[in-house]
Amino acid sequence: MTLGMSLGVALVGLEGHLVTIDVDIADGLPGYTLLGLPDTALTESRDRVRSALVNCLQNWPNRKVTVSLSPAWLPKSGPNFDLPIAIALLAAQQSIPSEHTVDTLFLGELALDGRIRAVRGVLPSLIAAYKAGITTAVVPQANYLEAQLMSEMTIIPMTNLNELLHWLKTGQRDEVQGLDVVIDIGDELFDFSDLAGQQRARTAAEVSAVGGHHLLLIGPPGAGKTMIAQRFPGILPPLSRNESLEVTAIHSIAGGFSVRSPLSSSAPFIAPHHTATRVAMVGGGSHHIRPGACSLAHRGVLFIDEAPECGVGVLDSLRQPLESGSITIARSVGSIAYPAQFLLILAANPCPCGKFSGRGRNCTCSSQQVRRYLSKLSGPLMDRIDLRVEVEALSRVEMMQPELGEGSSTIRARVIAARAVASARFRFDPWSLNSEIPSRALRTSYQPERAAMNFLHNELDQEHISARGLHKVMRTAWSVADLAGHLIPSVEDTKIAYSLREGIGL
């Protein structure tokens, strides 16, 4: 028989599709034909596979070789089909038995000497294969840590083609020590106890963490805005296993494990430079649509420092994912949706020179320059920000205080307790955070007490807040109430939420 078969996975965004690789070796002029909508990287697999087989002392057929990737209508891309093509070709030559090739997933790029190199998207590929009924997968040794997250499957890591062929022929391989896949939070590099003073900003950060509310920090250089943002993941609850798998799958496609471990349960912290483009922020690409910063920050924090310095339209491109929690990218090659449920933290100076404040610092900017600088944050974007806090420069007394502030672990404990109260309240609802309460539910089932609603309606009548702002304050009031242990937001809770949104003193 001159037919061979193996299994691979084609990824379209986060969604994987099981692909059957069929190889036919027939009489005729020697040649190699690849069918099934391959891209350039996949078309080049012929030379990689040939060199790898020859250097591993395997035969390359001097006949007509046809490789079919089905379903044929699905575009395939990337070098992760190198290994399954090589296995199917060897099976067609009857160099290896076919019992292991028909029900095992193969993932990996082949080096010219036969080494199996790491590929992107291993976790979403394994999830797709498992849903299709495949329970065994061969992956590169470099991807073993990520692959172990799919504990429901038998994962077989391999370093080179010779080792894999030995296992396929004999069923024997070197035992690989299993990894402990219990997800840990890891060491905290930044702690809120390092932050001196800034009680108002601390309160806003805690409220933001409880309800998932977006935060704007405005203050002079050196006041602590970046310190607060960097310590924010330390006060967020650890991710659940499903959430961790979701985050890891996104980072696997983007190749972002150089800064984040696949086994980490801490919320991701993504801080793109203010010169980042719109494509870098929301995702895209001409041939392969990759997730952007807002998707990499899914279930975590997207921090943008020097926000007014961002290019025109970059921040406004976040308006749609801020509302929907997902981003849909349409290109000529197709349309892909990525999750983008993140907490946005913006940091900005009060003016171009950074010295404008209520303490009478020597600001050299005119009033027109100040207005023009802050107007770079558009009104529609600012309307989507729940909390706006002015971070004042520290005084000498605050800097010399010997006592440390509350640590991240203490704040995180209160955040987890408050979120547990919210989860119990929403146990029959499809959402779990206060920031996710839909507007209709706010008008019917989740209104603050009557005096609080009278206060908000009065502010709405005076056009101090918009209808969206009214709902934002109501959601924040629930977070304040959960921290205070109140069953329903009081007028005091609502006023605190309103002051945090409008940037006025508590």
Percent of the chain whose pLDDT exceeds 90: 59
The CATH homologous superfamily to which domain 192-405 belongs is: P-loop containing nucleotide triphosphate hydrolases (3.40.50.300)
Give residue 317's pLDDT.
93
Split at pLDDT 50, 70, 90, the class of 403 is: low
Question: CA nearest 394: which of 142, 178, 200, 236?
Answer: 200
Beta-strand runs (E) in 298-341? 301-304, 326-331, 334-339
DSSP 223: S
Residue of higher predicted confidence among 174 and 289: 289
**Structure-block tokens of residue 164:** 């894999």
Does this model's pTM top 0.85?
A: yes
With H, G, I as helix, E, B as strand and everything else as coil, classify residue 283: strand
Maximal CA-CA distance, the chain: 88
pLDDT per position as a tens digit, 80-133: 999 999 999 999 999 998 877 889 999 999 999 999 999 999 999 999 999 999
pLDDT per position as a tens digit, 186-206: 445 688 888 877 888 899 999
Split at pLDDT 50, 70, 90, the class of 180 is: very low
Q: Is the pLDDT of residue 326 over 50?
A: yes
Full DSSP string of 412-436: HHHHHHHHHHHHHHTTTSS--SGGG
Split at pLDDT 50, 70, 90, the class of 258 is: low
CA distance 293 to 291: 7
Count CB atoms within 10 A of the CB of residue 29. Answer: 6
Give residue 453's pLDDT.
93
Which fold is adopted by the domain 3-170? Answer: Ribosomal Protein S5; domain 2 (3.30.230)
Helices (H), 231-378: 241-254, 278-282, 293-296, 319-324, 367-374
pLDDT per position as a tens digit, 130-144: 999 999 999 999 999
Domain with CATH 3.40.50.300 in the chain: 192-405
Give residue 186's pLDDT.
47
